[in-house]
Homo-oligomer: A and B are copies of this chain.
Amino acid sequence: MHSEIKYWFLRDHKLFRVLSNDQLKQLCVITGFKEGKKGDIIYFSDSKEPRIYFLKKGAIKISEVDVNGNEITKEIIQKGDLFGELSLDTTIANNEFAQVLTNSVTICSFLLKDFEALMEQHPDLALSYTKLVGLKFKKLKNSYSNLVFKDARSRLIQFLKDWAARDGNETLDAIVIENYLTQQDIAHIICTTRQTATQLLNQLETEGHLKYDRKELVLDKQFVLQN
């Protein structure tokens, strides 16, 4: 494959717009490509050679499992987003892993040190990247607050709204989302049990706010817009 074809898509990411074609090519020389299918686990915590990953296609979750097997999902990564050792810190492993949610994904990755080197040469890139990490930081802060201040129902509603904003297709009076999450997945995201998530989803369905099935999720537009 010509590297021209390989790396064109990085242009889609705001982060890389500041780079010249040559610099993109430079990064792509050190790029690894990878396809994945639903359920695949992409490890990065334990890796000797820390990497930054770019998700070209699909969706994955960043999760952690504790000693008792309980899982929480800290973040959903969508097409065009970055994940991996984003904190540029290679020290402590923290039990995180990435798992594919959609039927298939395409991932591109580069070595952390190469990326760092590129940032050294390119302050614009460094600054954009700093903002990207900062934004993720802020989002997590928000999840943390929600977890403490709000009950499971509110957290579910908040998540559904976020999901709709990210992934939804607007119709006349509804927002339709192609559903790649099980109720168990949703439970992990909003930090509750599968049973509670199921009950709450059915409750919202009974109230006429949404229609959930394994293929798609249809949200009432009123419901999404109102606070």
Contact = CB atoms under 8 A, between A and B. Distances in A.
Nearest to A87: B134
A114 interface: no
A72 B148 contact: yes
Interface in A28-75: 64, 66, 68, 70, 72, 74
Interface string A140-152: 1111110111000
A148 B149 contact: no
Copies in the complex: 2
Contacts of A127: 88, 116, 119-120, 126
Interface of A: 64, 66, 68, 70, 72, 74, 86-89, 92, 94, 96, 116, 119-124, 126-127, 129-131, 133-138, 140-145, 147-149, 191
7 shortest A-B CB distances, which residue pairs?
A87-B134, A126-B126, A66-B149, A123-B123, A87-B138, A137-B137, A130-B130
